[in-house]
Structure formats: C-alpha cells, structure tokens
Chain A
Amino acid sequence: GAVVSQHPSRVICKSGTSVKIECRSLDFQATTMFWYRQFPKQSLMLMATSNEGSKATYEQGVEKDKFLINHASLTLSTLTVTSAHPEDSSFYICSARDPQGRNQPQHFGDGTRLSIL
C-alpha cells in the first residue's frame, strides 16, 4: 500500500489562482520531504527539500516566493503554487523516506497534475 499520500491528484484552475498541494507520510514520521516537478516527456526535477520546523531548501532557479513550502508537522508538507500561470502547469510529485528503517527506500506520492488555464 501507499506510504506517501498526495492530494489532490488533479487540479484545473484559472490563471492567477493559488493552489495548495498536500503530501502526507503514512505510518511514519518524515522530518524531510522532497518536492519534484515533471514536465511532459521529461524526467523528475527536484524543486525543494522540505524540512520540518525550519525553512525549505530550494534548488537553483526555483522561486521560493512562488512555490511556498510549509512542513507543519512530521507527517505533512504542503506546496503552494502562488498566482499560478500556464507555465506552472506540470506534474508535481512529493517524496519521503522513513528515517527509522535502515533499509527503507525513498517513497513517492502519486503526483498532482496541475493545469492552469
């Protein structure tokens, strides 16, 4: 079963709208979560690392004021795309790893497909 839950799975909204995506770790606490973005026919690109209790770390070229990340608890990280525009349309995927397990791999949510009209 899924160990990382992402919601919503799909969003269609008008340009200028802010959209919030939730990522939850199930059955484990994740002090660190990762947010990726994937454009059509391309690979996953890391956007930022979400840290519980502290500021997120953003990759070069990712605007922190545009993509707000809040890691409010050990099981929840949110990504808010503020004032979204058509070029923000993409597949957003979150990921987390259970730090307690020595051999636990990094697990991924099912992604959120964002379409800005």
Chain B
Amino acid sequence: DAKTTQPTSMDCAEGRAANLPCNHSTISGNEYVYWYRQIHSQGPQYIIHGLKNNETNEMASLIITEDRKSSTLILPHATLRDTAVYYCIVRIQNSGNTPLVFGKGTRLSVIA
C-alpha cells in the first residue's frame, strides 16, 4: 500500500505557481520524499526528492514540514507541458533493490 495521500486532481492557471500537497504522516526517520510525474503515454519522470530540508532544482521546489508528515511540490511557473499525474512517494534512499511503489497521484491540469 502506498504510504502517501494526495488530492485526486488539481487545476492551475498557466504561468501561476502550482502547489501540490502530499500527506505522509507515517513516514519513518530514514525515509525520503520523492516526487515523480507522468505525462500521458510516457514513463514516469523524476522531479525532486528530499529528507527534511527544503530542496530546489531546475524543475521544482520541495517544501517539507518540520514534523515531516507532509510536503508540497511547487512548480513556480506552470506551463501547459506540466499537465501530468504527479506522484509523491516515500522510500529509503539508496535502497536500489527496493522498487518505488506508486499511489494514485494527483492529476494536474494546467489551463491556458
């Protein structure tokens, strides 16, 4: 079973920030939060991951609450190409033999 809960769907206006929440209240101390997205008919694409500090890369920012029970993925300026299903996953880092387990994710629709 997935250890995260996400809203089923969200809309965002093009050019605005998209804030995607994720609850992971049972996260363990050695588990990281990973975000992937899947554009229609493609394989999942890695976005970002973090443990407890906020993280930022060229794609997005990840804000993790101090108690680590929830996080938010931020796409600062959403474009139509960001329309996808976004998955929040918790797992132990460097567990190369342990596969990612996907929940249902959030379907983000970026609207012109």
Contact = CB atoms under 8 A, between A and B. Distances in A.
B16 interface: no
A32 B42 CA distance: 21
A107 B102 contact: no
Interface residues of B, number: 22
A108 B45 CA distance: 7
Contacts, number: 50
Interface in A1-60: 4, 6, 31-32, 34, 36, 43-46, 49
Closest 8 CB pairs of A and B: A108-B43, A105-B46, A34-B99, A44-B102, A43-B102, A99-B96, A108-B44, A111-B43
25 contacts: A4-B43, A32-B96, A34-B100, A36-B102, A43-B102, A43-B104, A43-B105, A44-B38, A44-B44, A49-B97, A91-B41, A93-B44, A95-B43, A95-B100, A99-B96, A102-B94, A103-B93, A105-B46, A108-B43, A108-B44, A108-B45, A109-B43, A110-B43, A111-B43, A113-B41
Interface of A: 4, 6, 31-32, 34, 36, 43-46, 49, 91, 93, 95, 97, 99, 102-103, 105-111, 113
